[in-house]
Amino acid sequence: MKVFYCPEYVKAAHDFETLRKSAQIARSLAARPIPGVVIAAPQPARVEVMQLVHEPGYLKALATGVPLDLAETQGFEWDPGLWDSIRFTTGGVLAATEAALEDGVAGSLSSGLHHARYDSGAGFCSVNGLAVAAVSAIQRGVKRVLILDLDAHCGGGTASLIADFDGIWQTDISVDPYDSYEPICNGTFDFVHGDDSHYLTTVSARLAELDDRPFNLCIYNAGMDPAPKISGDALAQREEIVFRWARSRSLPTAWVPAGGYLTNQSMASLVEQHRLTIAAAARA
């Protein structure tokens, strides 16, 4: 299984875990390999591909820092390394979708995606690589794309960007109301208030509802920030459920390690959580 990463992923200077954890995960994989996992370097995403879902003036602001208030709408200070980070992490999601279509499953250590809007960032997300990759796949002939978003927070940015694309479906299950949105015609949205059992039941039920839909690609936003509301054991079970479901359908799946913060845990603990996704994907 190819997992895409390169040092440019962490080129932005801002010290925030969604911008830093990919390097820590990559180091972990080098020190303690997961069988079947191969690290590969992606090509940077081209501006015209990101323009499939983002306004050109906003992308220019991210590249140049002008105007500064627009370049910082995601919530942290702009610096010259941010644009390289965005180009390569978005390129990683694109590369993972292409590899998944060829090999069945692939990932990119990209993060900070699903809150970004057409003409601004939001919630520490600058460019919505999920939407970029989904729309790009549609334009390259993939007929139906599923975006499965299991981050703790709602994917309102993604929902706003794919609303006009009939070939893209979003299944969104969250435990925190941030970035909530009205249900859309091409997706479902669940806000889970309950415990581990309720959460896993909801995930399984929503996946089962998709069995009659002929998807050709799944892009999975594998959030680990439902913890601590949802236990680590339940999140490990969730990853097994998701990848077994995809394999049973022979559904090519590209994943990214979403969410996960250092508020109540160490970086080492966060890395172990994201390794759950990688290990489950590799087994699939």
Report pLDDT digits (tens) over 116-155: 999 999 999 999 999 999 999 999 999 999 999 999 999 9
The DSSP code sequence of 212-272 is TS--SEEEEE---TTTTTS-HHHHHHHHHHHHHHHHHTT--EEEE-----SSSS-HHHHHH
Find all residues with CB under 8 Å of 114, minimum gap 6, and list them: 125, 128, 130, 149, 151, 153, 155, 157, 158, 179, 221, 258
| Average pLDDT score over the chain | 96
Strands (E), 97-252: 105-108, 145-149, 168-174, 187-191, 217-221
Alpha carbon distance 104, 72 (integer Å): 36
pLDDT score of 184 more than 80: no
What is the DSSP track for 20-39? Answer: HHHHHHHHHHHHSPPTT-EE
Alpha-carbon distance of 41 to 236, in angstroms, equals 27
What is the average pLDDT across 166-191?
93
Domain ranges of the chain: 2-283
Burial class (CB in 10 A: 0-12, 13-18, 19+), 127: buried
In this model, does residue 20 exceed pLDDT 80?
yes
Average pLDDT over residues 151-165: 96
Sequence letter at residue 125: C
How confident is the model over 29-58, as pLDDT tens digits?
A: 999 999 999 999 999 999 999 999 999 999
pLDDT of 261: 86
Q: What is the pLDDT of residue 19?
A: 85
Q: Which residues make Cβ contacts (< 8 Å) with residue 171, sequence separation at least 6?
A: 146, 147, 148, 149, 187, 188, 206, 207, 210
Q: Which residue has the higher pLDDT, 102 or 212?
A: 102
State the CATH architecture for 2-283. 3-Layer(aba) Sandwich (3.40)
